[in-house]
Amino acid sequence: MRNLKSAAIVMIASAAFLAAQTDPPGRVGRLNYMDGPVSFQPAGVNDWVEASVNRPLIAGDNVWVGDRARTEVHVGSTALRLGANTAFQFLNLDDQTVQVRLSEGTLTVRVRRLGPNQIFEIDTPNVAFNLAGPGEYRIDANPDTQTTIITVRDGQGDVTGGDEAFPVYARQQVAVRGDDRITYNLASAPGPDGWDQWCSARDRREDQSQSARYVSREIAGYDDLDQYGRWDNQPGYGNVWMPTSVGVGWAPYRDGHWAWISPWGWTWVDDEPWGFAPYHYGRWASFGGRWGWIPGPYDVTPVYAPALVAWIGGGRGGSGFSLSFSIGTAAAVGWFPLGPREPYFPSYQASRGYFTRVNNSNTVINNVTINNYYDSSRNNAPITNIQYVNQRAPNGVTAVPQESFARGRRVTQEARAVPAAQLASTQVFGAPSIAPQRESVLGARADTASRAARPPANVLSRPVVARTAPAPAPVPFDRQQQALSQNPGRPLPANTVQQGRQGSPAPGAPVRVVDMGRVRRVQPNMQPSVGAGPRGVPQPNAVSQPAPQVSIPQTGRPQTETPQPTGIDRQKGRQEPPQVDLPRAETPRPRGFERQKGQSQQQEQTPQQVAPPAAQTQAPPEIDRGRGRGQRQQERQQQAPAQAAPAPAPPPAAPPPPPPPSQPQAAPVQPATPAPPAAEQPRQNRGKQNKSDREDNKGKSDR
């Protein structure tokens, strides 16, 4: 019986694991900002096109930032900012792993949250850098000189290159040179430059977002809602975001285009700068003719969806409807946004658990409804047992010709409203049965393939060093197209995709995965960084003198010149580097202070240094202001011969200079010099003697 129970548990666990393998990731990247020429190469195609804002990014997608340009990508609450002449690719992107290829250029990453089992890795031509927690990190890759410079402002990370791995802590910078055999130099992180200041301004914009009170920061695009709308409290719905930058007659899912993105299939890409979060999360509702977006539960991990809509027309077997367009009467396909508490039916292969998560994270649906609605085959079948609210809302349904839809053309160019009579007789589907074309993958800017900038050929073929094995290379779309046409509208199952990879591996730049069994862990002897924090803010563990630049003392590595990429230091969440005592021969011990009762003179204590006996016993002459000037001068003249008495050994021409701190040595012992009688008196009797002298002087002056 026990064996049967164990076997049942194993079978259930195996089934859950296999189901999880077929589920798509719950998060994607979002291209949310561009300034200057930015090009994009979707996974599975060889063409480069001009990038589009709000394009979802997946593993295998490439981004090239041209000269004097910059762009920003978000993965949940994590911001990745790319400088000019930067080649970037997602090697892996799912719920547990973010793995980036940085072939060359500048990348700054700000991580707000990193789970205990999550991996965030940046791979360059000569090192792999793994982030150990939230923080701010800058990576500069220069393949021409085989140099990678990593600056850690906040947080901590591990560098792996050659046959070694070592940590880098907050407010530190490391420059790594070489390929198979690397040299590296550690130093304090320098101050911010222009690039870092721009990144800091983008961070402040996110930190000050008012929408973060209503939307989880793990939903990319929450900060764009502040500028283009306002939050209202609607009875029965709670907090609702109302766009204020749209015209009369506007409706959701209208200003943009449809793209084919694996493994989800048909995906909405909006043209509005705020058009990401409201189209992949939450639900829409009409309030007196105005549309508002209702986000999902705040405390639930959000799950990305390609488009939260229901479809009319374009069903299996040619079912659909026709409309009059500028090109004449044509077969049309239409859609409308899902309302609150209405289920979303994926067109892709997914488990029951995924169906529950993607719905419960974007709206509120009870389990009874989930169990009744779940059916993995309903995406292309008519849905007859649900009354959709927005299907009857004014101007709620949008339709375009199926041919324009498949080619990824902009909806606003040929969109038509569907008459109410046709809506009453048109069936609703979970997804349209329309096969994608090459233009579907490239998106609305497919016509820019001939003029889009692309990186040099050697950049695309340049290998990088990785610590984590990347995701399998995507199957070229040309190899998938025939299979996709046999079951239009549905992405290929996972097993079919796997067979396509085995038949002919997809081309791509090689990745050299490090054998961690041969890597030697190094613990660098790091001096705490000094002077890299914000201006006017005292830094912890700072000393009164600048800390020397210390290279890692491993196998006699030469200390190289430290480059100067910079960044912004933050106090919050900083993890301090380990405190390591440096050798005494290189760094003097801090000077201490000893104060005795009644003693005002500061006494230095230097290691292994002995003061002359005379200096230990001689006290400064007591000054009695009751004596007259002539009497004090006469006493000094009487003491001068005794102090100037020659010592048995001839005195040196000049006193020897004190030894440097790095070479402590004992001071020469000089013969004792007779001290004046006043100096030989015990300290506790000096007050009585001075009092007697003052009384004598007072009597003389009275006389």
Cβ pair 138, 153 in contact under 8 A: yes
* pLDDT above 50: residue 577: no
Residue 8: its pLDDT value, please? Answer: 42
Within-domain flag for 252? yes
Residue with tokens 């809602």, as numbered in its chain? 225
Residue 635: its pLDDT value, please? Answer: 53
Residue 75's pLDDT band (cuts 50, 70, 90): very high
Lowest mean pLDDT among 39-53, 134-148, 372-386: 372-386
Residue 324: its pLDDT value, please? Answer: 65
Greater pLDDT, 14 or 406 = 406
Dump pLDDT digits (tens) for 281-294: 999 999 988 999 99
Q: How many helices (H) and strands (E) does the chain have?
A: 16, 31
Among residues 567, 587, 604, the one where a domain terminates is 567
Q: Show the domain range for 250.
A: 212-445
As given in the structure block, the two tokens for residue 687 are 């007050």
Residue 508's pLDDT band (cuts 50, 70, 90): low
Cβ-based neighbour number of residue 672 at 10 Å: 13
* pLDDT above 80: residue 592: no
Residue with tokens 């189209």, as numbered in its chain? 279
Residue with tokens 């041209």, as numbered in its chain? 66
Does residue 235 sit in the same domain as residue 370?
A: yes
Does residue 197 sit in the same domain as residue 219?
A: no
Residue 439: its pLDDT value, please? Answer: 95
What are the C-alpha distances in Å from 632 to residues 333, 391, 627, 689? 113, 110, 7, 15
* pLDDT above 50: residue 676: no
Residue 180: its pLDDT value, please? Answer: 86
Cβ pair 273, 223 in contact under 8 A: no
Residue 501: its pLDDT value, please? Answer: 72
- Crossing angle, helix 494-503 and helix 477-486, to 10 degrees? 140
As given in the structure block, the two tokens for residue 663 are 């070479």
Does residue 197 sit in the same domain as residue 97?
A: yes
N residues, the chain: 703
Residue with tokens 């089934």, as numbered in its chain? 15
Dump pLDDT digits (tens) for 466-493: 999 999 988 999 989 999 999 899 999 8
Within-domain flag for 227? yes
Residue 367: its pLDDT value, please? Answer: 67
Greater pLDDT, 427 or 683 = 427
d(CA 99, CA 121): 5
* pLDDT above 70: residue 336: yes
Does residue 286 sit in the same domain as residue 408?
A: yes
Lowest mean pLDDT among 146-160, 360-374, 386-400, 577-591: 577-591
Within-domain flag for 606? no
Does residue 285 sit in the same domain as residue 410?
A: yes
Share of the chain above pLDDT 90, in %: 54
Within-domain flag for 31? no
* pLDDT above 80: residue 369: no
Residue 701: its pLDDT value, please? Answer: 46
Does residue 195 sit in the same domain as residue 267?
A: no
Q: Which residues are 74's β-sheet partners?
A: 30, 79
User: How many domains, the chain?
Assistant: 2
* pLDDT above 80: residue 165: yes
Q: Which residues are 591's β-sheet partners?
A: none
Lowest mean pLDDT among 55-59, 205-209, 411-415, 424-428: 424-428
* pLDDT above 60: residue 597: no
* pLDDT above 70: residue 519: yes
Predicted TM-score (pTM) of this structure: 0.73
Residue 291: its pLDDT value, please? Answer: 96
Q: Minimal CA–CA distance to 308: which of 353, 271, 270?
A: 270
Regarding beta strands 464-466 and 398-401, do their DSSP bridges make them parallel or antiparallel, or are they unpaired? Answer: unpaired
Dump pLDDT digits (tens) for 197-240: 999 999 999 999 999 999 999 999 999 999 999 999 999 999 99
Residue 46: its pLDDT value, please? Answer: 93
Q: Minimal CA–CA distance to 155: which of 184, 186, 130, 118?
A: 130
Helix (H, G, I), strand (E, B) or coil at 500: helix
Does residue 372 sit in the same domain as residue 327?
A: yes
Does residue 316 sit in the same domain as residue 420?
A: yes
d(CA 80, CA 540): 29
Helix (H, G, I), strand (E, B) or coil at 107: strand
Within-domain flag for 171? yes
Among residues 526, 548, 567, the one where a domain terminates is 567
Among residues 547, 567, 587, the one where a domain terminates is 567
Q: Mean per-residue pLDDT for 497-502?
A: 74
* pLDDT above 50: residue 644: no
Q: Mean per-residue pLDDT for 336-346?
A: 94
Q: Mean per-residue pLDDT for 268-289?
A: 96
Q: Mean per-residue pLDDT for 425-432?
A: 85
Within-domain flag for 52? no
Instruction: Spell out where 262-320 has E strands.
Output: 265-270, 283-287, 290-294, 309-312
Does residue 278 sit in the same domain as residue 154?
A: no
Does residue 520 sit in the same domain as residue 563?
A: yes
Does residue 188 sit in the same domain as residue 331?
A: no
**Mean pLDDT of the residues in the chain:** 77
Residue 447's pLDDT band (cuts 50, 70, 90): very high
Lowest mean pLDDT among 83-97, 216-230, 332-346, 670-684: 670-684
Does residue 329 sit in the same domain as residue 415?
A: yes
The highest-confidence range among 311-325, 338-352, 422-436, by mean pLDDT, is 338-352
Q: Mean per-residue pLDDT for 533-557?
A: 33
Within-domain flag for 15? no
* pLDDT above 80: residue 55: yes
Within-domain flag for 595? no
Residue 357: its pLDDT value, please? Answer: 95
Lowest mean pLDDT among 112-116, 534-538, 557-561: 534-538
CATH code, domain with 134: 2.60.120.1440
